[in-house]
Amino acid sequence: MTHLRKIMLEELQRRHYSEATTQRYIRLVERFAQHFHRSPDRLGTRHIREYQAQLFTLQKLSPGSVTNHLCALRFFYIQTLKRPWSITDTPYPKKTHRLPTILSQEEVAQLIDAARTPFHRTILMTLYATGVRDAELTRLKVSDIDSRRMVIHIQGGKGRQDRDVMLSPVLLDELRAHWRRLRKKSSTWLFPGNRWHTGARPIDTKTPRHACQYAARRAGITKSVYPHLLRHCFATHLLEAGADLHTIQILLGHHDLKETARYLHLSQRHLHATASPLDTLVLRGRSQQEE
């Protein structure tokens, strides 16, 4: 497995998968191999179906978790082993679509103000001001900040697509203050890694996740707060402020407008703008129990 692990790692890195996804995919393929006590290149479709069934029945995993396992195995068989993969033989389970919990703008302000460090505060502000994914934030470069055009260039986003997002004047001031605070100015990364933020590599996705968790705890916010939630807040609050869906789609980097349309279900402005049919009924009086 060591040789196959190395090949898989190289393929994942070549295709610019995030560090978190890379480690997760490798870990899931290794679990698959350990389950059958055999090298994964000696396993086939029958084993994948059997493994998928036990993930549901024995481990009681959710459809989303089982899909993650299948995505890792699919990458391994197609990209590492160069073998065909049949969706018909190993179908993905149907996902349960749940709407995310959204923070109000007041709660977002409380979250940012409760950041444990100035570095965390800058991260939280950047996530909310731009709607970037946490992996995209970690790879932001100094050269991506275009203060003349007031945009931020997002390079190699999901699907290896580039896009531009707006650069808020408030965020620009914060980023300049963040730059002045850095002990060692990186020639490349906007958010350098290691404890003192002086590393040659950028932060990993644990940093924005911890920034969210610590700030939520300090702010007394009981909702589950994570980096992608601030992306949801960015889109929902834009929609409530009057931005159109197509603009939000471009800013988020969605390929399908259906992905963006989900925020209609979260926008209070759109929910409150539609009257309930109960309001149009002519009722005779109060309920009998009240009389």
pLDDT in tens, 231-267: 999 999 999 999 999 999 999 999 888 889 888 887 8
At residue 166, φ and ψ (nearest 5 deg) are: -70, 150
Dist CA 32 CA 43 (whole Å):
9
Dist CA 229 CA 175 (whole Å):
21
Give bridge partners of residue 149 from the DSSP assignment: none
Residues 6+ apart with CB under 8 A from 163: 154, 157, 250, 251, 253
106, 240 Cβ separation under 8 angstroms = no
Binning pLDDT at 50, 70 and 90, where does residue 212 land? very high
Residue 274 pLDDT greater than 70, yes or no:
no
Query: Where is pLDDT greater, at 215 or 86?
Result: 215
Region 160-186: mean pLDDT is: 94
Residue 276 pLDDT greater than 70, yes or no:
no
Dist CA 131 CA 136 (whole Å):
10
- Percent above pLDDT 70 for the chain: 93
pLDDT of residue 269: 73
pLDDT in tens, 9-28: 998 988 888 888 899 999 99
Catalytic positions: 133, 158, 228, 231, 254, 263
Residue 95 pLDDT greater than 80, yes or no:
no
Let me know if 263 is exposed, middle or buried by CB neighbors in 10 A (0-12, 13-18, 19+).
buried
